[in-house]
Structure 1
Amino acid sequence: MNTRFLSMLAALATGTLSLFASCGADEPSADASTQQPPATEERAFIAGADVGWLTQLEHEGHKFYTPAGEEKECMELLRDDCGINAIRLRVWLNPADGWNGKEDVLAKARRAKALGLDLMIDFHFRDTWADPGQQEVPAEWASLDIAGLKDAVATHVTDVLGAMKSEGIAPRWVQIGNETPNGMLFPLGNATDHPDNFASLVTAGYDASKRVFPDADVIVHVDCGNDEERFTWLFDRLKEHNARYDMIGMSLYPWPAEKWQDFARDCLDNARLLTARYGKPVMICEVGMPYNEPDKAYDLLKYLKDEGWGKGLVDGVFYWEPEAPAGYNGGYDKGCFDNGRPTRALSAFTDRKQ
């Protein structure tokens, strides 16, 4: 998630509709095995937060406060006051300003480890944002063929994860590509034109991750978690070309907010089908609601926890940049802090099922 939200609004305004722009729900597929997700009692709920902007916000002078108004470091605040037990961090290859590059990611990962928080590392394989509309190969890799791209992916993953390992930081999850409904590292990794290439890039990232951290779960991540066809289209191709991965990741940004129940119900129906069809667990890697709708955000998160994790459909939920002030970085409006204090939204992670 980033300025994609604004570009999506523009696409809707021009009437652009296609498989890779539509997030509508479809009828469940009949192609499903009998494999079921693990029982809830065998695993803890993952209450996560993506805080890739945190060091940049701090550099700009932003402060964070408990509900009572006491200033507090943001990750500690999320852990102690919001029930967060995992942090997600994006990795960019050669970012122009350094934010989300290897050293910045390491700085945030150290803090997460010191607080006892689990860690998800999200490789974008770009110098900036990767999302459905932005998957072009980074400048440094522009001249590479597919064999070179596979080597570059493996080298980049090994470099970042190896640096973490040298400091005793062990991610629990590694995400290979960010929101990749039609592949990554275009044009050669475009899944419509080259599904075999995309599968081989995923596998290259998987193998590199496992060489450094054999126990980390490797995730392939797609946006529009409520859209079954979007997922089955891609994961059928990964299956056909024998891609290796451990977990399916989803994004879910219900809009309009009043329709959150429809989006959430379709998302969990999709998770049920995907686990049966591919034998993989599901994680909601990104979720967000308008900052001025904290009650609806609370209801969405509570539903995903109680009905999703509670019924064994998803392993957990990561809120995307909850600490971001309204309108940050060109218009992001789905944080859930107000003047540096958490709103009611994240208390859904700590409230018991009623």
Structure 2
Amino acid sequence: MRKHFFRTALSVATTVALGCGAVALGPVGSASAHFGEAEISPIESDISERPWAGVEVSSGASSADLAIDQEDSTAWVADDTSSGQWLTLDLGGAYDNVRKVEVVFPDAGAVYQYVIEASADGDQWQVIADHSANDRPTRGSVDLFTEPGTRFVRVTFTGASPGATLGISELSVYNYLRDDLVLGADASWVDNDVAEGRDYWVSPTEEDRGAGPHLLDVLQDRGVEYVRLRIFNEPRSESSGDVLPVPYQGPERSREVAEWIKAERDMGLGIDFHYADSWADPAKQPKPREWAELEFDDLSQEVYDYTYDYVEQLIEQGTTPDKVAVGNEIINGFMFGSEAALIGTTDPPYFRDHPEIYQSQPGGGLLWDYWGSEDPEEQRLYDEAWDRFTTLSAQGISAVRDVSADHGEDIDVEAHIATGRSDKALEFWDQYLTRLNAKGVDPDVLAHSYYPEWHGSPEQIEQTLNAVAAAHPGYKIDIAETSYPASGGGGAPMPNSTYPRTVQGQADALQRVFQIANDIPNNQGVGVLVWEPARWQSMFTAVPGMARTWEPNASIDVFGESRATHVVEDTVYAGVLVDGEVALPDSVDALTTADGSTEPVPVAWDPVPDGATEEAGRLTVQGSTEYGQVTAMVDVVETYAGLDCDRVITGRHTGPLTVTEGVTCLDGATVSGPVSVRDGASLQADGATISGPVRADGAAAVVICDSRISGPVTSSGTSSVTIGNPVLGCAPNTISGPVTVTQTQWWNVIAGNTISGPLTCRENAQPPVNNGSTNTVSGPKSAQCRDL
């Protein structure tokens, strides 16, 4: 069994990520050796911003969507501040090449502890990043991972510093161009090029001209891996209908071109049957002259025989196609016949001028004017046209299936339409597939043309393709034709586009189409073909002073440089107090996409400007690695996050103090007597002196900093415990008496203190940590406190 054509890795330099919402992924590389200049970069997509992505949360559902609104000044905020709060991002389907996740939190001066997991089904989870030991205030993180089939990404909080807003400002998951997404071209005119003596060189004016002079050599050298050929039955003039003296793109010449593609260059090969003698597109679908007067049953048989025979010839000469399209842009059907009187078509001229020949028998034209008609007769005609069309289509598909089976080959079958209307595309595929399935046949690939001037904005075709993919999940999706000009119109964008008609605009526009195909959920997008890149909206420019010689525009490198070879941890988050010193890491992580390995790479940071931390705000520092740029996002804060006090006690408080609700703060206070913190209440002591025991039972939070306590300190079942934490400005305490901390639910820090008596910790959800500040304890340290 012959295997499908698969892409092999290209040896190309990765460059800075461009347009498509991307960020730096590799070293800068301008394709200026060709005509014009363009910055070509690996494609990166944040799937969270796509309309098919969604989120679910453990609590606070009313604000959930704010975590993916592309605005980090808003946030999902959990209703509950207990441990285990989570947010799950549903990417809308599985992705094989998501490689980076970025999470941003609401509070700049807080410490967030969390775990990030990925899942294909929402049931089985794989940890991709564990930040549960965080002890520094940072507003976010970037993590790299490789988990093919990822659909869900979940962030689960395991802790947060006291007073932190528990929530997520933004969760982003980035997708990269898959290796198996085929990037190719329809280069059917290549037989004309050779016959006309046209030369193509990668660098025609340099001493080493590179690949050439054959167009296919230049295309292959620049990263094109697949070539489609249109097949006219008996090539004729579009105007007169006369047979052309040179049968360009006819069966015989195309067999020779197939050898250039498949046998000589080992590129992928697609065959596009027009089932016509001249151009077939939505506006014109003439029958071949030889079939024009056949009765319908004979026409149907001829489609089968012709398709079988031609594919067999290709197989027998050693150029088995990887894919065969049964018709070209068949949104209105194909091989129009007598039904053309109802369609109202007049093109091409020979079809119009000779109705006695071309319209003498029924064909496969569709009657869209009757779509949704309540007139029974019109509905009957609509259905009958669909039946004829799909009968002819089924014959072509069956022929490809049968000849493949007879020769032990595996050839994909494609159906290819062109429309700017999503509703029409959905109706087409529903009718087409339902009727074909009833006839016992099925295509593999549902293909669409996309030209903005005819089919709308990139967002419109993206919406259409994703609607089709969702409605028909068992099929591959392909963009069989696209292009964009590099000149004309004074450089103004094409209709329905934002990209200028420049070499850079051409590169960006094509990359946007690559991105659209790659981002279809469940990896249903399988390829993009640029239509006639050497002729129509050309990616080549004639070389002045060199007759019949063309060189590629710099934009042609989109084929070879749109895939990332490395993904870098391109954003570093840090926090610092006003007038503090910015500390940035010496290295960041970089992931090699070929094998999924991750390793640290050095960062060279720009100098931090003098006085940069004198005022609160956001400071950015640029850095560079061998794989691209890195940005440090440094939040300068007046103070770190803390509890908001409902009651503040200063001076002297005589007798017992019981906290039953809200947050009570002891600000330099002296308390003579025991302090009790009841269920759900919180205590924050800073610079306090307490004579007597401190006990918390089921409290929300206990924070003790820079205080002297005479008596035991006991916490049981408290959600958040902080007894000293110098890294967050909570100075150590002096405690005369035993300290016992049990059953703490999440945040749990005991750091830098001097304790006269034993330190006991047990049954805590997470063992307490000292964040690098060892406690001095005169008694034994036991159980979970042993290493503090």
Same fold (TM over 0.5): yes
What is residue 233 of structure 1 aligned with on the other side? 427
What is residue 170 of structure 1 aligned with on the other side? 320
What is residue 73 of structure 1 aligned with on the other side? 214
What is residue 346 of structure 2 aligned with on the other side? none
Q: Deviations over 1:142-190 (max 9, x none)?
A: 1112211211111111121111111111111100010111100112201
What is residue 89 of structure 1 aligned with on the other side? 229
Within 1, Cα distance between the matches of 2:214 and 2:228? Answer: 17
Question: Letter of the aligned partner of 2:302 in structure 1?
Answer: A
User: Is the helix fraction higher in 1 or 2?
Assistant: 1
Give 1:111 shift: 0.6
What is residue 10 of structure 1 aligned with on the other side? none
Give 1:132 shift: 1.0
Is the contact between residue 191 and residue 234 of structure 1 (CA under 8 Å) also seen in structure 2? no
1:181 and 2:331 matched: yes
Is the contact between residue 157 and residue 209 of structure 1 (CA under 8 Å) also seen in structure 2? yes
What is residue 81 of structure 2 aligned with on the other side? none
TM-score (norm: length of structure 1): 0.81
Within 2, Cα distance between the matches of 1:53 and 1:172? Answer: 20
Identity between Structure 1 and Structure 2 (%): 24
Q: Indicate the SS of the match to 1:235.
A: helix
Question: Letter of the aligned partner of 1:166 in structure 2?
Answer: E
What is residue 303 of structure 2 aligned with on the other side? 153
1:296 and 2:446 matched: no
Q: List runs of 5+ in structure 1 lacking aligned partners.
A: 1-26, 29-34, 325-332
Per mean C-alpha deviation after superposition, the further-off stretch among 117-126 and 146-155 is 146-155
Question: Letter of the aligned partner of 1:109 in structure 2?
Answer: A
Is the contact between residue 251 and residue 287 of structure 1 (CA under 8 Å) also seen in structure 2? yes
Within 2, Cα distance between the matches of 1:37 and 1:50? Answer: 29
Within 1, Cα distance between the matches of 2:225 and 2:541? Answer: 21
Is the contact between residue 301 and residue 349 of structure 1 (CA under 8 Å) also seen in structure 2? no
Is the contact between residue 56 and residue 99 of structure 1 (CA under 8 Å) also seen in structure 2? yes
Cα pair distance change 1:143/1:307, threshold 3 Å: closer
1:242 and 2:242 matched: no
Q: Deviations over 1:84-117 (max 9, x none)?
A: 0000000111112311111111111001112110
Question: Letter of the aligned partner of 1:60 in structure 2?
Answer: E
What is residue 470 of structure 2 aligned with on the other side? 276
Of 255, 268, 274, 1:118 maps to: 268
Within 1, Cα distance between the matches of 2:313 and 2:563? Answer: 40
Within 2, Cα distance between the matches of 1:352 and 1:55? Answer: 28
Within 2, Cα distance between the matches of 1:128 and 1:287? Answer: 20
Of 392, 401, 424, 1:210 maps to: 401
Is the contact between residue 177 and residue 221 of structure 1 (CA under 8 Å) also seen in structure 2? yes
What is residue 452 of structure 2 aligned with on the other side? 254
1:143 and 2:293 matched: yes
Cα pair distance change 1:223/1:61, threshold 3 Å: same
Q: Deviations over 1:276-318 (max 9, x none)?
A: 2123111111101124133222112212223431553521111
Is the contact between residue 202 and residue 245 of structure 1 (CA under 8 Å) also seen in structure 2? no
Of 131, 138, 141, 2:281 maps to: 131
Is the contact between residue 517 and residue 528 of structure 2 (CA under 8 Å) also seen in structure 1? no
With CA pairs under 8 Å and 6+ residues apart, which has the higher RCO, 1 or 2?
1
Is the contact between residue 221 and residue 248 of structure 1 (CA under 8 Å) also seen in structure 2? yes
What is residue 323 of structure 1 aligned with on the other side? 534
Q: Indicate the SS of the match to 1:67.
A: coil
Q: Indicate the SS of the match to 1:270.
A: helix
What is residue 199 of structure 1 aligned with on the other side? 390
Q: Deviations over 1:248-294 (max 9, x none)?
A: 111111229xxx9x622221221111112123111111101124133
Q: Indicate the SS of the match to 2:364.
A: coil
Per mean C-alpha deviation after superposition, the further-off stretch among 180-189 and 241-250 is 241-250
Give 1:37 shift: 7.3
Is the contact between residue 88 and residue 120 of structure 1 (CA under 8 Å) also seen in structure 2? yes
Is the contact between residue 153 and residue 201 of structure 1 (CA under 8 Å) also seen in structure 2? yes
Q: Indicate the SS of the match to 1:241.
A: helix
What is residue 336 of structure 1 aligned with on the other side? 539
Q: Indicate the SS of the match to 2:433.
A: helix
Q: Indicate the SS of the match to 1:103.
A: helix
Is the contact between residue 480 and residue 529 of structure 2 (CA under 8 Å) also seen in structure 1? yes
Cα pair distance change 1:200/1:316, threshold 3 Å: same
Q: Indicate the SS of the match to 1:316.
A: strand
Question: Letter of the aligned partner of 2:443 in structure 1?
Answer: Y
Q: Indicate the SS of the match to 2:365.
A: coil
What is residue 16 of structure 1 aligned with on the other side? none
Q: Indicate the SS of the match to 1:255.
A: helix
TM-score (norm: length of structure 2): 0.37
Give 1:213 shift: 2.2
Within 2, Cα distance between the matches of 1:144 and 1:308? Answer: 40
Question: Letter of the aligned partner of 1:75 in structure 2?
Answer: L
Question: Letter of the aligned partner of 2:305 in structure 1?
Answer: T
Within 2, Cα distance between the matches of 1:310 and 1:234? Answer: 23
What is residue 183 of structure 2 aligned with on the other side? 47
Of 178, 194, 204, 1:58 maps to: 194
User: Alignment length, in residue pairs?
Assistant: 309
1:104 and 2:104 matched: no
Within 2, Cα distance between the matches of 1:123 and 1:172? Answer: 14
Q: Indicate the SS of the match to 1:121.
A: strand
Cα pair distance change 1:36/1:89, threshold 3 Å: farther
Cα pair distance change 1:201/1:36, threshold 3 Å: farther
Question: Letter of the aligned partner of 1:201 in structure 2?
Answer: L
Question: Letter of the aligned partner of 1:85 in structure 2?
Answer: E
1:348 and 2:558 matched: yes
User: Is the strand fraction higher in 1 or 2?
Assistant: 2
Cα pair distance change 1:64/1:197, threshold 3 Å: same
Is the contact between residue 486 and residue 505 of structure 2 (CA under 8 Å) also seen in structure 1? no
Give 1:334 shift: 1.1
CA radius of gyration, larger in: 2
Is the contact between residue 306 and residue 353 of structure 1 (CA under 8 Å) also seen in structure 2? no
1:286 and 2:486 matched: no
Within 2, Cα distance between the matches of 1:290 and 1:61? Answer: 24
Cα pair distance change 1:43/1:64, threshold 3 Å: closer
Give 1:335 shift: 1.7
Within 2, Cα distance between the matches of 1:291 and 1:57? Answer: 21
Q: Indicate the SS of the match to 1:298.
A: helix
Cα pair distance change 1:151/1:255, threshold 3 Å: same
